[in-house]
């Protein structure tokens, strides 16, 4: 039976402190994957699918159109450590475009830590897109240490499919929209069990609706934004999903670092 990987947010790595938890503990790599009991394996596929978001106190997922303005030191530390843990980093095309994603290449320290854990040097970068509106010449692909995966739909534009197929593995995962269950199953079949998703809201909404989310890590930034920014999950239909709190930590930057797993 495949192992199930529980979340790695060891308290020692995220201890509240004057430096925002950045000093870490003996597992400052933060990504010691703990093998959990099978009860945690909601889909029975051995995979664990985590999403990570930052939000303001009043629920804004962005400031001036980007998430980066909300997060502080603790959030950035968590963001880096979660990538360190992952077999695959999953991102919606909207976030990749808006946030100007580059290649999914970790720094030398992270690579050394991963090698010591027996992990591949870098996680696979997996993108979700219906329109395939991604530039094959962008650093996402041109500088990728590992050939990225692109999950798309059968009806995607043929020209874009052909261009992206030269630089990535393009996988059909639905007819007109990407089926999150298909994505999860395909990643699990590839042995990419530690699935770390960095958003964005449309991807989260779709994955929540499909019932394939195991964990939400949410940084509550100590700011009230007002305005009209959206929330961290968005879909046409609501999908109420009970979550169980697993840890609550306060960073030295005043951020609440929340971790909830599926109830
Ligand atoms: N607060 C946070 O932590 C956080 C995290 C991430 C992003 N964000 C913010 O969120 C905003 C982007 O929001 P977003 O909702 O557009 O992001 P998104 O979910 O990353 O991207 C949406 C796009 O992803 C593709 N997609 C997602 N689910 C799909 C499905 N089931 N089937 C087919 N395609 C699918 C589509 O791409 P195509 O258009 O290519 O078909 C869709 O337009 C940005 O402002 C970003 O800064 C905030």
Per-residue pLDDT of the chain (263 residues; tens, 9 = 90+): 223 333 444 333 333 332 322 233 333 334 333 333 334 555 789 999 999 999 999 999 999 999 999 999 999 999 999 999 999 999 999 999 999 999 999 999 999 999 999 999 999 999 999 999 999 999 999 999 999 999 999 999 999 999 999 999 999 999 999 999 999 999 999 999 999 999 999 999 999 999 999 999 999 999 999 999 999 999 999 999 999 999 999 999 999 999 999 99
128 in ligand 1 pocket by Cβ < 6 Å?
yes
Angle between helices 73-85 and 108-117 (to 10 degrees): 40
Structure tokens at 176: 């007109």
Ligand 1 pocket check for 210: Cβ under 6 Å: no
Give residue 38's pLDDT: 36
Q: Structure tokens of 261? A: 């797993």
CA dist 5 and 41 (Å) reads 8
Q: State whether the beta carbon of 131 lies less than 6 angstroms from ligand 1.
A: yes
Residue 54 near residue 13, CB atoms below 8 Å: no
Q: Total structural domains in the chain?
A: 1
Residue 185 φ/ψ, nearest 5 degrees: -65, -40
Cβ 56 under 6 angstroms from ligand 1: no
pLDDT given for residue 44 in this prediction: 86
Strands 215-220 and 256-262: antiparallel
| Best residue among 94, 152, 209 to mutate for probing ligand 1, ranked by most atoms within 8 Å of CB | 94
The residue whose C-alpha atom lies closest to atom 22 belonging to ligand 1 is 94
Domain extent for 186: 5-262
CA angle in degrees (0–180, nearest 5) for 104-65-214:
55
- Please give the number of the atom of ligand 1 that sits closest to the Cα of 52: 3
Q: Of all helices (H) and strands (E), which one includes residue 18?
A: none
Beta carbon of 62 within 6 Å of any ligand 1 atom: yes
The alpha carbon of 100 and the centre of ligand 1 are apart by a number of angstroms equal to: 12
Q: Which of 130, 121, 42, 123 is nearest to 92 (CA)?
A: 130
* Closest ligand 1 atom number to CA of residue 177: 32
Nearest-CA residue for ligand 1 atom 43 is 94
pLDDT at 40: 55
Per-residue confidence (pLDDT) for residue 42, from 0 to 100: 58
Chain-centroid distance of CA 36 in Å reads: 20
Q: DSSP secondary structure string, 3-69?
A: --EE----TTTS---TTTTTT--TTTT---PEE--GGG-TTSSS-EEEEEEEE-TT--S-BTTBSTT
Give the separation between CA 263 and CA 256, rounded to whole angstroms: 20
Q: Among residues 1, 96, 104, 93, which one has the least CA distance to residue 45?
A: 1
Pocket test for ligand 1, best of 71, 202, 258 (most atoms within 8 A of CB): 202
Please tell me the distance between residue 35's alpha carbon and the centre of ligand 1 in angstroms.
Answer: 30
Looking up tokens 């920014």 gives 229
How much is the pLDDT for 41?
Answer: 59
Would you say the CB of residue 53 lies under 6 angstroms from ligand 1? yes
CA distance 23 to 14: 9
Minimum-distance ligand 1 atom for the alpha carbon of 204: 19
Residue 97 CA, ligand 1 centroid: distance in Å: 9
Q: What is the largest CA-CA distance in the chain?
A: 53
We report the CATH number of the domain holding residue 82 as 3.40.430.10
């Amino acid at each position: 039976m495949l192992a199930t990987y529980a979340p790695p947010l060891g308290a020692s790595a995220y201890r509240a402190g004057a430096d925002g938890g950045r000093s870490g503990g003996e597992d400052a790599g933060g990504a010691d994957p703990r093998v959990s009991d099978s009860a945690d394996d909601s889909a029975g596929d051995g995979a664990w699918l985590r999403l990570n978001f930052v939000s303001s106190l009043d629920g804004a997922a962005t400031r001036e159109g980007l998430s980066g303005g909300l997060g502080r030191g603790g959030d950035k530390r968590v963001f880096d450590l979660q990538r360190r843990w992952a077999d695959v980093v999953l991102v919606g095309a909207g976030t990749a475009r808006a946030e100007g994603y580059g290649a999914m290449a970790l720094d030398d320290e992270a690579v050394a830590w991963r090698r010591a854990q027996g992990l591949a040097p870098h996680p696979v970068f997996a993108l979700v897109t219906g329109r395939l509106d991604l530039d094959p010449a962008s650093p996402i692909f041109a500088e990728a240490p590992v050939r990225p995966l692109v999950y798309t739909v059968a009806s995607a534009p043929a020209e874009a499919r052909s261009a992206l197929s030269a630089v990535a593995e393009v996988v059909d995962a639905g007819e007109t929209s990407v089926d999150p269950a298909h994505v999860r199953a395909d990643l699990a079949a590839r042995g990419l069990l530690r699935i770390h998703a960095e958003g964005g809201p449309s991807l989260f909404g779709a994955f929540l609706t499909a019932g394939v989310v195991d964990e939400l890590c949410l940084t509550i930034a100590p700011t009230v934004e007002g305005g009209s920014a959206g929330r961290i999950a968005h879909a046409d239909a609501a999908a109420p999903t009970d979550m169980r709190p697993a840890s609550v930590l306060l960073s030295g930057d005043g951020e609440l670092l929340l971790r909830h797993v599926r109830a």
